[in-house]
Amino acid sequence: MKIEIAESLIYSYLKHNEGCRFVQTNWMTSGKWVITEYEKERASLLFNKISNSEFFTGIFKNSSFEQLIKQAEIDVLGINTTENTIYGIDIAFHSAGLNYGSKEATAFRIIKKIFRTIFIMQTFFNENEKFNSYFITPKVNPATKVLIDDLMIKAKEVINDEFISIEFISNEQFYSGIVDPLIENTDDEHDTAELFSRAIKLLKLDNRKESPKPIALDKQKKSRVSGIKREINEMKIGQFAQYCFRKAYEQGLISESEINKLQNPDYSKTTFDINYEILKNKNRNIKDEKGRTRYYAREIFCGNYHLTNHWVESHWDLLLNWLNKIGYKYK
């Protein structure tokens, strides 16, 4: 079986740095799977939105939505079950630099791959709320990167969805955002199937005093892939929100008056910038008009309520402000 070192790198990164409890390389669909219209709906709407945009008209050429997701494949797929978040990552390791023909052809191919990965994840993993589609490569020509970065800006404008994150990671960002954080997290891991991690451990055994070290470790904690991920007490935003609501209620810090406010959509919007009530009675429907679950279903909070699962990076400061307001000490 052929083992790709770049895929092994991303496998280890997703597992140890992004907290993905399920990671698979070379993920592919089965021809036996039956995909319902409901499962395809969200991705199909996004496909049409992109296809009809002024920037990406014709990007899929004559390929239909069905053709794009048929026999789908993703280099590395990871699922963070605590955050209801899925990562689909395509990685290209070309020692001479990323190249699929001309600079323009390379740029559009990358963007198309990123779009296609979103469609695949939304279709086959529809129960997740947050979708991250990244294309990663250690080396790309600066002129090509400029074109790709420009298309990425346009792509984000067209998608315009805070629950979809797309990134093109290359050159210096590849090492500072992917490699360095992983190197910091390999010492205590013992999975011998992780080729990249094993290679790093091998290099760290070099104790020669005269020779230059092959790896320079930065002791400061590096940023995540997107550069904006944040953690408190080793918890990302969704897990942190659940933990704090649970503990604050146990400590008697969430009053009945506050619970009533948290069931008001206007209060939720002004306080947390979330479009759903923060709390919803356990006897009420927790799905939206499209049938997607908008609340954590397995646990009851504040005595009788479901807590919204709509927590993203932009909600950190608002959540912390509210916790400070009610007097909860989270550190």
Instruction: Of 225, 90, 85, 108, give the one whose Cα is nearest residue 162.
Output: 85
Tracing tokens 């990323």 back to the chain, one arrives at: 98
pLDDT at 190: 61
Tell me, what's the pLDDT at 14? 93
- Which residues, 6+ apart, have CB-to-CB distance to 7 below 8 Å? 25, 26, 75, 76, 91
Distant-in-sequence, close-in-space partners of 71: CB < 8 Å, separation ≥ 6: 28, 29, 31
- In this prediction, residue 224 carries a pLDDT of 47
What are the structure tokens assigned to 285, written together?
Answer: 């429907």
pLDDT on residue 271: 95
Cα–Cα–Cα angle for 248, 235, 152, rounded to 5 degrees:
125
Question: What is the pLDDT at residue 291?
Answer: 72
CATH number at residue 52: 3.40.1350.10
CA distances for 154 relative to 41, 60, 136, 165, angstroms: 23, 16, 19, 13
Query: 184, 201, 228: which is the final residue of a domain?
Result: 184
| 305-307 and 279-281 strand pairing | antiparallel
- Token readout for 54 is 């002024």
The pLDDT assigned to 200 comes to 73
Is 173 in the same domain as 241? Answer: no
Report the SS3 class of residue 264.
coil
Q: Please tell me what DSSP assigns to residue 304.
A: T
**Residues 312/162, Cβ–Cβ less than 8 Å:** yes
Q: Which letter does DSSP use for residue 208 in this model?
A: -
- Residues 165 and 28 grouped into a single domain: yes
Specify whether 180 is located in the same domain as 293. Answer: no
Angstrom distance (rounded) from CA 163 to CA 60: 23
Per run of 10 residues, the mean pLDDT along the chain (length 331 residues) is 78 90 93 88 94 91 87 92 92 84 91 96 90 94 93 95 92 89 70 71 66 44 52 87 94 95 94 93 84 84 93 91 93 74
Q: Domain check: are 175 and 272 in the same one?
A: no
Residues 13 and 89 in one domain: yes
- Look up residue 295 and give its amino acid: Y
Q: What is the side-by-side strand order in the sheet with 22-28?
A: 22-28, 73-80, 85-91, 130-137, 164-170
- Find residue 254's DSSP bridge partners: none
Looking at the chain, how many residues does it have? 331
In the chain, the number of structural domains is: 2
Cβ(143)–Cβ(127) below 8 Å: no
Q: Can you give the residue range of the structural domain that contains 301?
A: 237-326
Q: Based on the fold, state whether residues 17 and 137 are members of the same structural domain.
A: yes
Structure token digits, residue 264:
């008001």
Residue 80: per-residue pLDDT: 93
Identify whether 98 is part of a domain.
yes
Same domain, yes or no, for 293 and 149? no
**Chain centre distance of CA 72:** 19
- C-alpha of 273 from chain center: 20
Task: Evaluate whether residue 196 is within a structural domain.
Answer: no
Tell whether 174 and 271 lie within a shared domain. Answer: no
225: in domain: no
Hunting for tokens 């990965």 — which residue is that?
Answer: 117
Asked whether residue 157 falls in the same domain as residue 252, the answer is: no
Position 218 scores a pLDDT of 42
pLDDT value at position 262? 96
